[in-house]
Amino acid sequence: VSIQSSQSRQLCQTCKRPLSVCYCSALQQVTNQIKVLIVQHPLEEKHPFNTGRIAHLGLSNSELIVAESLSHAQLDKILAIPSMLLYPSLAWLPEPVKTGQSICDIASMNQLIVIDATWRKSKKILHLHPRLQEIPRLSLQGELKSNYQIRKTSMADGLSTLESIVKAMTLLEPAQNFAPLLKPFEKMIAIQQSHYTS
């Protein structure tokens, strides 16, 4: 019989995880110039690792929108800022999505839009929003395998949203160190592993 304390069931208001596995003590704020806008699929919000939220909590200049579809008014507001779409999480799509511009002039971009969803859902979100297909894409080259071994998640096969953002922002703002964003993620994995092995 397992008895859960009320504390372990209570959710942290910041990371939305049970207090017993809250990672907030490992959160570090990183200052970024180019805004990171994360469009998170509602299913991803329920995902125990929710790395899009970690990125949002760590980046000083970021926004998290949980939605599968955005209204025209929302898109108008989002795209009022010169934007590029982060492509890494989509780079392993089985077929290329409709082509936008493949190379973007990074200097003129003030916002990085990241879709936080499984590839299927990412594709659906792009399909639902042709305007997102048209904006320039930032593609990450090279090894896109996660550095982390995580059990029981679909993330193990690809780069997590958080790692993708860290890679992209390191490319876009080389003077800043974005590695501290990974700390809560590492803490979360450590907590998970201790639960599995104990």
Instruction: Calculate helix-pair angle for 183-197, 51-58, nearest 10 degrees.
Output: 140
| CB closer to Zn ion, 51 vs 83 | 51
Do residues 54 and 184 touch, judged by C-beta distance below 8 A?
yes
For Zn ion, the binding residue among 20, 21, 24, 180 (CB under 5 A) is: 24
Sign for the CA dihedral angle at 115, 121, 122, 128 comes to: negative
The interface region with Zn ion, picked from 22-30, 49-57, 60-68, 147-155 by CB under 5 A, is: 22-30
- Cβ within 8 Å of residue 164, ≥6 positions away: 86, 88, 89, 114, 140
Q: What whole-number distance in Å separates Cα of residue 42 and Cα of residue 60?
A: 23
Answer yes or no whether residue 110 interacts with Zn ion by CB under 5 A.
no
Q: Which is nearer to Zn ion, 54 or 78 (CB)?
A: 54
Q: Which of 8, 9, 10, 14 binds Zn ion (CB under 5 A)?
A: 14
Smallest gap from Cβ 17 to Zn ion, in A, equals 6
Enumerate binding residues for Zn ion (CB under 5 A).
12, 14-15, 22, 24
